[in-house]
Amino acid sequence: MNFLKTFFASCLGALVAMALLLFIVIGLFATLGSEKQEVIGDNSVLHLKLENPISELELEDPIAELFPGAAEQSHGLLQIKEAIRHAKSDPKIKGIYLNTSHLMTGISSLQEIRDALIDFRTSGKWVVSYAHSYTEGAYYLATAADKIYMNPEGDLEFNGLATEVIFFKRLFDKLEIKPEIFRVGEFKSAVEPFMRENLSEENKLQLNSILNSIYSEMVHQISDARKIPYEKMMELSNKMTVRDAAGALSNGLVDSLYYDDQVKNELRGRLGIEKKKSVPLVRYSQYKRSYTSDMTSANEIAVIVADGEIMPGKADQGVVGSQTIVEEIRKARNNDKVKAIVLRINSPGGVFQAADMMWREIILATEQKPVIASMSDYAASGGYYLAMGCDTIVSRPTTITGSIGVFSVLFDLSHFMGNKLGITAEEVKTGEIGELYTVTRSLTDHEKDILQKQTDRIYETFTKKAADGRHMKVEDLKKIASGRVWTGVQAKDNGLADVIGGFDDAVKIAAGKAGIGEDYKLKFYPRPKPLLDKLMGGWEDESRMRAMQEQLGEYYPWYQQWERVKHYQGPQARMGIEFVVK
């Protein structure tokens, strides 16, 4: 009887789950199928409220579309730029209302949006920025506006950039975990958290150089926009003189202190409408559905987006899958309609062999048509490996690039497993060399020598190919390699990049080299997954994650960290530092 009860209860649960799934799928198709082009009224204002994470391309989330607020929808940098570009010539849009207090993106992405807003103003239209409080990144973006307002009781963060590196050596010592590290390059700092308790002098040097280069670029642009001398701006920042709204106003960083209703009155005045009427604000999510691309041409420029960590296999959100990118480049080079390729790179690197597979396909593509690299926030280590095969490298001033070096990490867990967990292991092997990538024992000196020589060989491959791509002597390339990280400006100066500019500049260079002038259309790849694939894949991943959480309980966060560290096994062309302006 108990068996029957359990059986029928399970069947009922499965039927309910299937019915719910069917309901959601029908609802999604009904919602998306009925979606029509938005109609924008005259005398409207584009409302840019960029509070969600910003990725290179916008990935439509069907769950977020059906249940607003259930999932965090990311904004696509390239789609935001397209919306601003379209609004510039749209007679129905009179101006842009930038309403952002903090941002979740990289510095170069902010520069791309900021440049687009400045270009928008060349049409004679206006940009007004307002926030209750401004973080450093949000304020930097706000200086693209012709007027900056903030709440009278708000705060403004203007105190420079900082980055923090977390070290795990003492933790590993306590747990009796021994990292076995193989690397080339004194600046290859991704492994420092496993082997040191503080920054090496080389790492301090490159971090200081990068932060100062990036911040100098930002402050110069803020200084020009606010017409405040650069030296005065740096003094305000170094001492954090400005901390609140009153200080921001008295030092000229903002134009007025307004409450929300006062800003809306300001917008009404600009539009010439009565105070009792609501401001006709058009959200970005609405506006992007109000138009279709005006690019209609037989000539195509394929934009292949490599956004995330480089790994073997298929691409996914946050993962540059070598199999997918190789297929996309191959299709683009063999397609006669594609006249040029722009490789948009936003990656700190990853697995060396995966990067090398994509590099080979890039080289083959350059033999048939122009291939231009457009660097975003990161094009470092494995990310630079992709760029160095292209005809021309276009970098933002604040792009983090270089990091030409190789490393791998193995973790000897034998003492941790034996002394802490009571687990032991014994290996049976046919020859002198056992399982090289193992965590259950220490490596022998001979095995360590094999892995270090492998790392040295890969470094020689990396530097030789980089030197060939940059038309430099290997010995000159090695002077700026050794794992050292550079900004885009520094990379241009030392020969690692060709042009300082953004995505639009890369497209223009590609069109020019292809000889097609302005007669082209852009198409972005990889194409989004089909709706049902995204739904089923998302639920499958969610189910797997929940099952693992239930099994591991309080140890699940450690499992997540271990999964991340496991990616470091095997030769890596990866940068271990992240720079984000919030």
- pLDDT tier at 369, thresholds 50, 70, 90: very high
Alpha carbon distance 129, 121 (integer Å): 13
d(CA 480, CA 496) in angstroms, rounded, equals 9
Catalytic pick from 188, 339, 369, 465? Answer: 188
Higher pLDDT, 395 or 426: 395
- Both tokens of 174, joined, read 């306590």
Question: Mean of the per-residue pLDDT values for the chain?
Answer: 86
Q: Which two three-digit tokens encode residue 12?
A: 């009922």
In a 3-state reduction of DSSP, which class is residue 323? helix
- Can you tell me the distance from the alpha carbon of 237 to that of 239, in angstroms, rounded to the nearest whole number? 5
Of 38, 128, 46, 51, the residue nearest 81 (C-alpha)? 46
Please give the Cα distance from 60 to 257 (Å, whole number).
Answer: 37
Tell me how long the chain is.
Answer: 582
Task: State the virtual CA torsion across 431, 436, 440, 446 in degrees, nearest 10.
Answer: 70
Q: Per mean pLDDT, which range of 235-249, 338-352, 404-418, 452-466 is the poorest?
A: 404-418
Quick one: which of 399, 360, 393 has its CA closest to 379?
A: 399
3-state class (DSSP) for residue 131? strand
Determine the pLDDT at residue 73.
67
CA-CA-CA-CA dihedral for 384, 483, 477, 218, to nearest 10: 60
Q: What whole-number percentage of the chain has pLDDT above 90? A: 66
Q: What pLDDT digit, counting tens, does each position of 29-78 carry?
A: 444 444 567 888 999 999 999 888 899 988 665 555 554 444 456 789 99
Distances (CA, A) of 454 to 214, 369, 460, 464, 482: 35, 34, 10, 15, 16
C-alpha torsion 348→350→355→358, nearest 10: -70
Q: What is the pLDDT of residue 70?
A: 43
CA-closest candidate to residue 161, choices 199, 211, 203, 110: 211
Q: Are 326 and 358 in contact (CB under 8 A)?
A: yes
pLDDT at 324 over 50: yes
What is the tens place of the pLDDT at every residue in 127-143?
999 999 999 999 999 99
Q: How far is CA 527 from CA 73, 303, 317, 524, in A?
A: 18, 11, 12, 7
d(C-alpha 323, C-alpha 440), whole Å: 31
Nearest to 105 by CA among 97, 114, 96: 114
Domains and CATH numbers, the chain: 44-158+242-287 (3.90.226.10), 300-425+435-528+539-574 (3.90.226.10)
Amino acid 402: pLDDT: 94
DSSP lists the bridge partners of residue 150 as: 131, 257
Residue type, 179: P
pLDDT at residue 559, as a whole number: 59
Q: Is 275 annotated in the active site? A: no
DSSP characters for 507-546? HHHHHHHHT-TT--EEEEESPPPPHHHHHHHHHHHHHHHH
**581: pLDDT strictly greater than 60:** no
State the pLDDT at residue 484: 93
CA dist., res. 257 & res. 269, Å (int): 17
**pLDDT surpasses 90 at 510:** yes
| 352-366 and 445-470 helices, crossing angle to 10° | 20
Is the pLDDT at 359 greater than 50, yes or no?
A: yes
Helices assigned H by DSSP within 176-244: 192-195, 201-226, 230-238
Mean pLDDT of 414-429: 90
Estimate to the nearest angstrom the gap between the alpha carbon of 569 and the chain centroid. Answer: 23
Residue 571: predicted pLDDT: 78
Cis peptide before 280 (omega within 30 of 0): no
In this structure, what are the phi and psi dihedrals at residue 134, rounded to the nearest 5 degrees? -120, 130
**In whole angstroms, what is the distance from residue 152 CA to residue 459 CA?**
55
Whole-angstrom Cα Rg for the chain: 26
pLDDT tens per residue, range 379-413: 999 999 999 999 999 999 999 999 999 988 888 99
- The amino acid occupying position 257 is L
Give the pLDDT band (50/70/90) at residue 268.
very high
Residue range 418-429: average pLDDT?
Answer: 89
Q: 3-state DSSP: the chain helix, strand, coil percent, rounded to 5?
A: 45, 20, 35
Q: What pLDDT does 531 receive?
A: 47
Quick one: CA dihedral 416, 419, 424, 429, positive or negative?
positive
DSSP for residue 189: G
CA 266 to chain CA centroid, nearest Å: 35
Answer yes or no: are the C-beta atoms of 50 and 79 closer than 8 Å.
no
Q: If we measure between CA atoms, which residue out of 360, 351, 304, 262 comes closest to residue 523?
A: 304
pLDDT grade, residue 551 (50/70/90)?
Answer: low
369 is catalytic: no
Q: What integer pLDDT is reported at residue 435 of this predicted model? A: 82
Query: Between 421 and 36, where is the model more confident?
Result: 421
**Would you state the pLDDT for residue 33?**
46
Judged against a pLDDT cut of 60, whether residue 414 lies above it is answered with: yes
Q: Which of 44, 129, 347, 381 is catalytic?
A: 381
d(CA 461, CA 12): 60
Confidence of residue 102 (pLDDT cuts 50, 70, 90): confident
Per-residue CA distances from 51 to 74, 87, 117, 189, 317 (Å) = 9, 20, 17, 32, 19
- In whole angstroms, what is the distance from residue 454 CA to residue 392 CA? 30
What does the DSSP 8-state code read for residue 419? I
User: In the structure encoding, which two tokens stand for residue 147, read together?
Assistant: 């007027």
User: pLDDT tier at 103 (50, 70, 90 boundaries)?
Assistant: confident
Sheet holding 406-412, edge to edge: 178-184, 406-412, 572-574, 349-351, 309-311, 319-321
Q: How far is CA 221 from CA 57, 181, 225, in A?
A: 26, 42, 6
User: What's the confidence (pLDDT) of residue 95?
Assistant: 97
Residue 539 reports pLDDT greater than 60:
no
